[in-house]
């Protein structure tokens, strides 16, 4: 078996490949370039193609499928950059990575605190040697209500870590779970919108929940609400966000993701005129803290994301050898959580039973947090 890595970062990811290649007994090839029509041929002779979030077109999948590629292990939690319908038509399976939730959860809490205490403005004014106090007064999070949308692994970790701050916690998820109930009260979205001083997003991105935070949702929120997004940029309508900031309805925003970030983030654009007007406008607001999709970026998480691709491919290969007809059942465990699953034909791993708080592509509204396991070892 052989895997082709695209967009493999030489300064962090590459160092893990040789050890994992030996550990899993899988050959590999790589390039630091994102997939383009000119380099698709690099996947010849490979059974799998692994990417970070970048532009992947249906034509790319067709070309890889013609070369014999059958599996697409993403080195990211999100897999919305993969044309999933085309992958299903071609019989290509998709997996996404896993990493410990604390890194992103703590980053989201950091953004809450920075927004509340106007840290962005304080730092910018300090750079200009403005050390006055006027306009810098912040708010105490202990007297606030925080709403968490999506109580998967990351959302639950946010709740658990926030519980030590003394603030009131509300939560929304299509699939409530008992662990989250230890820290928060589950409410409907409208109640969460109107009750919370801070709202943080921790749900996966689907076609259904695109722009779930739109003008209508913002209108239901408290005046001066703080919005935090470390999940996916498509969850927030950028025009509605800009209007909310201009009107003062939104008091501050901490954004690690924005819509249409593929091809923009993780590249040096110094001196370029960026073709993303919404991002340019958002960066102009003094009450917006913006980071380029780096909430995940810790040593532990990078190692986990790279290994996830190897592990998923290894399990896929084992399953294919054991079940050549393309159907098998299995069990998996992560921490204290266990589940069974059923794979058949093509497409992503599909849980055969409900996993509380997990990402479920068939959910009614696509507003559930957590993660979908890749391809656990067959039972």
Identify the CA nearest to 356 among candidates 186, 145, 118.
Answer: 186
- CB of 308 closer than 8 Å to CB of 75: yes
Mean pLDDT of 22-30: 96
Count the residues in the chain.
Answer: 379
Mean pLDDT of 328-335: 43
pLDDT of residue 351: 36
How many Cβ atoms sit within 10 Å of the Cβ of residue 215? Answer: 14
- The one catalytic residue in 261, 307, 315, 360 is 261
Task: Give the pLDDT confidence of 58-80 residue by residue, as tens digits.
Answer: 999 999 999 999 999 999 888 88
Task: Give the pLDDT confidence of 231-263 residue by residue, as tens digits.
Answer: 999 999 999 999 999 999 999 999 999 998 877
Mean pLDDT of 23-34: 96
Across 122-164, where does the E strand assignment appear? 145-149
124 labelled catalytic: no
- The one catalytic residue in 156, 202, 293, 360 is 293
Between CA 275 and CA 277 the distance in angstroms is 6
Phi-psi region of 368 (alpha: psi -120 to 50; beta: other; left: phi over 0): beta
Show the CA angle centred on residue 307, arms to residues 306 and 313, nearest 5°. Answer: 105
The end-to-end CA distance of the chain, in Å, is 22
DSSP code string of 182-218 = TT-EE--HHHHHHH-SEEEE-B---SSSTT-BSHHHH
- pLDDT at residue 335 greater than cutoff 60: no
CB-based contacts of 262: which residues, under 8 Å, 6+ apart?
A: 53, 54, 55, 81
Parallel/antiparallel/unpaired status of strands 250-255 and 327-334: unpaired
- The one catalytic residue in 75, 96, 160, 232 is 232
62 labelled catalytic: no
How many Cβ atoms sit within 10 Å of the Cβ of residue 165? Answer: 15
pTM: 0.81
293 labelled catalytic: yes
Mean pLDDT of 206-230: 97
């Amino acid at each position: 078996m052989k895997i082709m890595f695209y967009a493999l970062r030489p300064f962090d990811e590459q160092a893990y490949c040789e050890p994992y290649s030996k550990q899993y007994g899988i050959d590999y090839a790589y390039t630091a370039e994102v997939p383009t029509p000119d380099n698709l041929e690099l996947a010849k002779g490979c059974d799998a193609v692994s990417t970070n979030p970048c532009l992947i077109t249906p034509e790319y999948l067709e070309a890889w499928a013609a070369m014999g590629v059958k599996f697409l292990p993403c080195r990211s939690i999100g897999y919305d950059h993969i044309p999933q319908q085309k992958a299903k038509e071609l019989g290509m399976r998709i997996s996404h990575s896993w990493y410990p939730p604390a890194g992103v959860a703590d980053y989201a809490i950091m953004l809450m605190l920075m927004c509340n205490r106007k840290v962005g403005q304080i730092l910018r004014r300090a750079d200009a040697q403005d050390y006055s106090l006027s306009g810098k007064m912040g708010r105490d999070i202990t007297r606030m209500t925080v709403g968490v949308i999506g109580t998967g692994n990351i959302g639950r970790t946010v709740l658990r870590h926030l519980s030590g701050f003394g603030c009131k916690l509300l939560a929304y998820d299509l699939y409530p779970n008992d662990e989250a109930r230890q820290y928060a009260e589950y409410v409907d979205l409208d109640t969460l919108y109107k009750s919370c001083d801070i709202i943080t997003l921790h749900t996966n991105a689907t076609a259904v929940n695109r722009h779930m935070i739109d003008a209508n949702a913002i209108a239901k929120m408290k005046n001066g609400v703080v919005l935090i997004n470390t999940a996916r940029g498509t969850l927030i309508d950028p025009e509605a966000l800009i209007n909310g900031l201009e009107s003062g309805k939104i008091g501050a925003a901490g954004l690690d993701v924005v819509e249409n970030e593929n091809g923009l983030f993780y590249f040096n654009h110094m001196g370029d005129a960026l073709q993303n007007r919404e991002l340019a406008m958002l960066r102009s607001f003094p009450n917006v803290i913006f980071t380029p999709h780096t909430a995940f970026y810790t040593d532990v998480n990078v190692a986990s994301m790279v290994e996830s691709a190897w592990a998923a491919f290894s399990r896929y290969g084992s399953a294919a050898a054991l079940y050549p007809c393309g159907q098998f059942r299995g069990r998996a465990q992560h921490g204290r959580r266990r589940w069974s699953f059923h794979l058949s034909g093509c497409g992503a791993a599909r849980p055969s039973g409900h996993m509380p708080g997990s990402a479920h592509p068939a959910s009614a509204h696509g507003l559930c947090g957590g993660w979908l396991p890749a391809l656990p070892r067959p039972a």
